[in-house]
Amino acid sequence: MSRPATRNKNKRHRPEDEAEIRSEILRRIHSTGEITQDDIEQLYNIRKTICQGCRVNTRDNPNCFCGLVPPPNGSRKSGLWQKMSEIVASFGPDPAKDLRDSEDSPAGLTNLGATCYANSILQFLYMNRAFRECIFSVEPEVLKQHPVLDQLACLFAQLRASKMAFVDSAPFIKTLDLDNGVQQDSHEFLTLLLSLLERCLSHSEVRNAKTVVQDLFRGSVSHVTRCSMCQQDSEASSKLEDFYELELNVKGLKSLDDSLVDYLSVEALNGDNQYYCESCGTRVDATRCIKLRALPPVLNFQLKRCVFLQKTTAKKKITSTFSFPRLLDMGKRLAQPSDSQMVYELSAVLIHKGTAVNSGHYVAHIKDEITGHWWEFDDEQVSSLGHHPFGEGKSGVVCMPDKVDIVNSPCKDESPSVSNKNYVNPELPSSSGDNNVETYSSTDAYMLMYSIRHSNLGGDRYSVCSADSKERKADVAPLNAKTPLPSHLSEMIDELNASYLIVCDQYKDRKERELSNITQRREEVRSLISEAPVVSLEEPYFWISTDWLRQWADTVAPPNGIDNSTIRCSHGKVPVTKIGSMKRLSSEAWTRLYSKYHGGPCLQDIDCCKVCLLDVAREAVNANSYRDTRASMKELAEAALAGKCFDGTLYYVSKPWLQQWVRRKNSDQPSEADAGPTTGITCPHGQLRPEQAASAKRVLVPEVLWLFLYENANLLLTPRKEEDNSIKPELHLDRLTFPFDSRVCPECSIELTEVACLEDTLREVKMRQRQNHEKLAAGKSFPLSPNLKYYLVPSTWMCKWRNYVNASGKNISLSVKPDSLDGVIDSLICEKHSRLLDRPPGLTCKRGMIFQKIPATDGLAILTANDWDTFCEEWGGRQEKGIIAEIKFRDSLKSNIFGSCQEQSITEDQMNDEVDDQLADREPYIDTSPEVCEDCIGERETSELMEKLNYSDKDICVCLIHGKEAPKSILEASKNCFELDRRTSKRSRKTPFGDKVNLKVSGCTSIYQLKMMIWEYFGVVKENQVLHKGRSIIDGESATLADLNIFPGDVLWVTDSEIHENRDIADELSNQKIDLQLAEEGFRGSLLASSTS
């Protein structure tokens, strides 16, 4: 059997060839009414080749399944083919990642926003083994009575035995009623927390727990004042004061030794600061100092890094390098040196990162008492530092942003590490007198914690060391013993760990299940798509919706059933118009889909709808006929628009409508825009509008073009319904047809004639007024003479009159007519005093003549008596109601050049130098009748000023001047404000004299806030800003812009004095926010504050 000849059938045609072939088939079907199998294969694109490797799916090829699935290594942004890593991320965080590495590694604490200060202190307390064991030993009933103790015990228990790498600190923070969004001082938090815990623990019957705060952290000092004459101490010198930490100065000091010497130094009391000695009975010179009486086992040093700067009235953090030793000998610093060795070892360093006082971040470096291993506690992150407080730098050791250089270390195998701000300095003297003891340095160390060092760590208990070398023993288990948790805490931890492990297992199971499902779905889709193409024309096939197939191939959860309803016609078959929305599916692929998902309907190869195909053929033939006819009619329309004369019967159509019709693209059928070819030339009376009317231009077209437009618009074939109330019943569509001999509507012609006559009359009236007031209409000024009578009218009325009489052309009917003069003059007189409500305009002398200053738009304008009389006749005014103005001088001298009572111009020939000097020495002014009412004007101006100053969200311009003096354009810029509603750029722009920026401000904006904006844009600190408006300097920061009469559109300029050092604006904003809102309150409102009351 020979191979079928499919070469020509499968040959790929060009798009224009395919369109021609398709059009030929449809014409033949329309003419014969017969449809062959070959026609169906051609029109349904069944013979198109099976695509392979296309980047997108081809809509008009039912055999193309490309693009339904991505390439083997490809992915998509969503759906079934999303990257596996993104799908796993959509499951949420894996709880197993929060699993603690081992029982020996500490756990972190969650930061609830700004609670790092509390986390650092809590970790320090927990890592003190004696303290946490005493908390664990508190009776359950006492814990229930004191929620703070209860939550602290639960927190410590979780830090010790939780399976998670970090513990939620929210219950403890909530119990203290702390605001987790406000950064607080860690030293203040420790002081208040110890005070609260001391009060709560006093209710316990367990001896060790009852006084653990006092036994571990409390020492005593005395303030000794000694008379220089009798050498006796004051009575108050014998009083002991408890302390829980020693506050040491840092400014100007380099080491802990220097700070301790400064703390214990002797202060001389002399001069105005003399001491009154009761023994001597007089004011005498004396000395005062602090003496250490007893030291606790845990000695805390608070480094005072916060100082107040008087120049900037702000707080600043001292970031100078400060050194401290690993071993600290405090025996010689007691008031009475102890016989026993009192050597303390560094156990914790609290670090404050950042340059701002009231912001930044707290971390804690704490040593494990048992192993001697250092850890960095940074909220949830806990990192190993090795055997040194700032990291060893060994391989495998986490290097933090602090640095350390290990020199003369007792550990021979430990290599030094270098980082940013912390290091070991062997050259600084040691407190213990041993030059080989390690000394550390830091720029951010904020608190130092030292623990007493004993020769026998295994058997000693913590003690309080005093001057007489006595120790208060406490029965606490040895440090290297591991005490089990109490039963109530152990049960809680077991439940939390069990629930956590369950969550981990659930996440793991879900992840495996979802990924397995996705993998199976991908394999199913790829397998079915590979079977989908129909290999030969003889094989049976099924039609399927492309939308449903794409949704099925791209979603993890496939749709419930096959939906082919969108590709089925009203006859229950497949129309040829849906060829771009469906695919040919092989019988095997359809069987697999249908057996699993069901749905339907099933549309086979025999379900091509021939009825719809005949309709499509008829529409295609009609479309071709319409397209060809319209192309020929378009040529006639273009000729008509060009002015060509045609023979035969002609008809009028709207010229603008025909121009739009010609510009429209050729289409297959008439559109709604083809209706109404004569609507624009039909008057309200249903007749032909005069061509002089607006938008009534018309053009004559030949009868053949009119009939084409007539048929398409369906103007006469479809009668109007009488139910349409918007159409008058007496009008008929045949009256909308206008042959070339149609008469113009007489009524509309008369109306147009009347309007034209009115416009002519109005034009003559305006011309006459321009002639009567030639200088006023042209806006020219004229010289004024004393002893002549003038009149005043509002400048706004004059502007409106000038625009009215100068309007011409199309604007003549649109110009606004001025109001009558009687009403205008009445509005200038106050009802209360019957005086003038506006001040007369100013006068100026030029070349020996007096002129009115250029009037403002809202002021008054001067008229001659002749102009006033004429205006009264033209605009309905009464001469006796006019506001009279006379030119007078401030002194009693009379001008020799103004002797006439008649109005006259003074030419330059009549003037001489003497007269010029005499006129220049005098100040002319206008005297009005009635007089000016200063009371009412003052009230109005005050009201207007208050309204003007009550602005918000308006622009002012600020210029940064690099020189000492601003240019003249800047100095005078505020006199001419720009438009308030104009859009302006907020970006800083370079200018020849400096930088310029527009700032959004309000009348209530303070100078301080304005300076902060300038700081943000130009980088000039507010203390260095010298702010000006014009030539005046703006001082202070508390006044508002309204107080200083700074209006929208004003131009301010600023220079940089460069007196104070630059700093980050974030520090100012942080200090401003904390100081103004919450810093003064501190812990007010929390449980810590109640413990101090």
Are 138 and 149 spatial neighbours (Cβ–Cβ below 8 Å)? yes
* Amino acid present at 50: I
Distance CA 1042, CA 698 (A): 63
User: What distance, in Å, lies between the first and last C-alpha atoms of the chain?
Assistant: 109
141 Cα distance to chain centroid: 52
Distance CA 778, CA 763 (A): 17
Distance CA 654, CA 698 (A): 5
Distance CA 125, CA 884 (A): 92
The three-state (H, E, C) secondary structure of 672-734, written as one string: HHHCCCCHHHECCCCCECCCCCCCCCEEEEEHHHHHHHHHHHCCCCCCCCCCCCCCCCCCCHH
116 as an active site residue: the answer is yes
Are 675 and 623 spatial neighbours (Cβ–Cβ below 8 Å)? no
Paired sense of beta strands 582-586 and 541-545, if any: antiparallel
The DSSP symbol for 932 reads B
Among candidate residues 116, 227, 748, 957, the one labeled active-site is: 116
Distance CA 565, CA 575 (A): 12
Q: Render 118-187 in DSSP notation, one character per residue.
A: HHHHHHHHHH-HHHHHHHHTS-HHHHHH-HHHHHHHHHHHHHHH-SBSEE--HHHHHHTT--TTS---HH
Are 244 and 191 spatial neighbours (Cβ–Cβ below 8 Å)? yes
Among candidate residues 30, 203, 223, 361, the one labeled active-site is: 361
SS3 934: helix
Are 126 and 132 spatial neighbours (Cβ–Cβ below 8 Å)? yes
Distance CA 455, CA 343 (A): 10
Q: Render 528-569 in DSSP notation, one character per residue.
A: HHHH-S--STTS-EEEEEHHHHHHHHH-SS--SSEE-GGG--
The three-state (H, E, C) secondary structure of 811-866, written as one string: HHCCCCCCCCHHHHHHCCECCCCCCECCCCCCEEEECCEEEECCCCCCCEEEEEHH
SS3 320: coil
Residue 932: name the closest of 923, 945, 941 by CA: 941
The C-alpha angle 561, 564, 567, rounded to 5 degrees, equals 160
CB atoms inside a 10 Å sphere around CB 21: 13
Distance CA 431, CA 344 (A): 10
Residue 693: name the closest of 644, 743, 744 by CA: 744
Paired sense of beta strands 166-167 and 108-109, if any: parallel
833 as an active site residue: the answer is no
What is the chain's alpha carbon radius of gyration, rounded to the nearest angstrom?
49
Are 260 and 328 spatial neighbours (Cβ–Cβ below 8 Å)? no
Q: What does the block give as tokens for 746?
A: 């007489």
Q: What does the block give as tokens for 177?
A: 């009623």
Backbone angles phi, psi at 748, to 5 degrees: -65, -35
Distance CA 128, CA 148 (A): 18
Active-site annotation, residues: 116, 361
